[in-house]
Amino acid sequence: MTRIEKIQAQLNEQELDAVILFSESNVRYAGQFAFTDGAVAVARDRALLLTDSRYIEAAQAEARDVEVRLVDSRHPLSAQLRDFLSGCNRVAAEEQRLPYADWKRLEEKLETALLPGDALLAGLRAVKDPEEIAALTAAQRIAEQALAEVLPFIRPGVRERDIAAELTYRMLRLGGEGNSFDPITITGPNTSKPHGVPGEAVVQPGDFVTMDFGTLVNGYHSDMTRTVAVGHATEEMRRVYDTVLRAQLAGIERMRAGTTGAEVHKAAEDIIQAAGYGGCFGHGFGHSVGLEIHENPSASPRNTKPLPAGAVVTAEPGIYLPGAFGVRIEDMIHVTEQGPVNLTAAPKDLLIL
């Protein structure tokens, strides 16, 4: 079943006649073509991609399972959507992604009240097909190779921002399409900040260095975190690292279809609390990743719904001791009926550079 056919099946199931998509990630999912201006509309028996002269040639060559039409001054987007949606009474759009003013303007142009449509695509995108898994895995392999090349560069005196620059350069050189997000490359006391911003701080002997980064392949994001020590590690640093690793492995073990995100998170949290670090793990165990770096479903206390087979969810517990240091270890896990499949191949035993 093609992606357009999957969307059409959901239209039937949700008693909708059509859905209009504007966000880059949903447009890319549906039409399998990337652009920032235009729309994809899917009705029960047809699909349309609208874009302007900047993208039309590429869209005609690359988009799949959709009719491609040009938007210009003589053929405005709203008029073409109105024509395409003729006979459609229940039309949905992306209520959380479309600005309110644009939503109201679209209703006026189409002369119909729009219905919420975000959940339709979120449910489909939560379950990755083999092509998506291949892209995610390829992106992860690039990130891992970049890390292997950067590790020898990490030594006392190197700035946090230099490590970020090296990772970015090497992922691009290895074929990545850009950063999944701004790399987090922090050292020493800064590692206690889960989303610390790399700056002028330099690596010191005995520091932990945390690197959270990823790249894209065909629009799909990888996401990994590794924490390494420089020169030596204290007994407490080793104890915290071991606790985080055990917590991660316990959470991963629970990451199978049918287990709730909350149950996965609790498996890791229980180990961290038993080790005496309760309250030092303040974020969720993980989040789904795909065409966006943060997707649904999540492995967090808030998610009491079962994880679906086919989801790709990060496993990234951490312990953060303010003013001292922090440790996070992150892999990407493919959730299946048979159990977790780790898409991350990089070693994660404590590495002392």
- pLDDT tens for 166-216 read 999 999 999 999 999 999 999 999 999 999 999 999 999 999 999 999 999
Chain mean pLDDT for the chain: 96
pLDDT bin (cut points 50, 70, 90) of residue 217 is very high
Looking at the structure, do residues 271 and 327 belong to the same domain, yes or no? yes
Number of H-type helices and E-type strands within the chain: 10, 18
In-domain check, residue 173: yes
Statement: residue 260 has pLDDT above 80: yes
Rounded to whole angstroms, the Cα distance separating 228 from 49 reads 47
Q: Name 180's Cβ contacts closer than 8 Å, sequence gap at least 6.
A: 139, 213, 214, 215, 216, 221, 222, 223, 293
Rounded to whole angstroms, the Cα distance separating 188 from 326 reads 8
In-domain check, residue 80: yes
Looking at the structure, do residues 157 and 263 belong to the same domain, yes or no? yes
Residue 134 CA to its chain's centroid (Å) = 15
- State how many domains the chain has: 2
Looking at the structure, do residues 89 and 212 belong to the same domain, yes or no? no
In-domain check, residue 114: yes
In-domain check, residue 59: yes
Looking at the structure, do residues 165 and 254 belong to the same domain, yes or no? yes
Looking at the structure, do residues 201 and 314 belong to the same domain, yes or no? yes
Q: What torsion, rounded to 10 degrees, do the Cα atoms 128, 330, 143, 36 define?
A: 50
Boundary of a domain, candidates 99, 126, 153 = 126
Looking at the structure, do residues 145 and 121 belong to the same domain, yes or no? no
In-domain check, residue 348: no
Looking at the structure, do residues 305 and 169 belong to the same domain, yes or no? yes
What angle is formed at CA 87 by the lines to CA 32 and CA 100, rounded to 5 degrees?
60
Looking at the structure, do residues 138 and 121 belong to the same domain, yes or no? no
| Residue 351: HSE in the Cβ half-sphere, 13 Å Cα cutoff | 16
Boundary of a domain, candidates 73, 99, 126 = 126
| Mean pLDDT along residues 287-309 | 97
Tokens of 39: 């729309």
For residue 222, give the DSSP letter.
P
pLDDT given for residue 66 in this prediction: 96
In-domain check, residue 36: yes
Looking at the structure, do residues 120 and 141 belong to the same domain, yes or no? no
In-domain check, residue 352: no
High-pLDDT (> 90) share of the chain, %: 98
Q: Which domain holds residue 7?
A: 3-126
pLDDT bin (cut points 50, 70, 90) of residue 35 is confident
Q: Name 270's Cβ contacts closer than 8 Å, sequence gap at least 6.
A: 250
Indicate which CATH number applies to the domain containing 231. Answer: 3.90.230.10
Boundary of a domain, candidates 126, 147, 170 = 126
| Mean pLDDT along residues 298-316 | 97
| Mean pLDDT along residues 123-129 | 96
In-domain check, residue 84: yes
Statement: residue 110 has pLDDT above 90: yes
Residue-wise pLDDT for 129-163, tens only, equals: 999 999 999 999 999 999 999 999 999 999 999 99
pLDDT given for residue 36 in this prediction: 77
> What global pTM score does this model have?
0.95
pLDDT given for residue 37 in this prediction: 84
Residue-wise pLDDT for 233-257, tens only, equals: 999 999 999 999 999 999 999 999 9
Indicate which CATH number applies to the domain containing 96. Answer: 3.40.350.10
Looking at the structure, do residues 138 and 76 belong to the same domain, yes or no? no
Looking at the structure, do residues 175 and 112 belong to the same domain, yes or no? no
pLDDT given for residue 84 in this prediction: 96
CA distances (Å), origin 222, targets 149, 167, 291, 314, 347: 17, 13, 10, 10, 16
pLDDT given for residue 129 in this prediction: 96
Looking at the structure, do residues 38 and 113 belong to the same domain, yes or no? yes
Statement: residue 64 has pLDDT above 90: yes
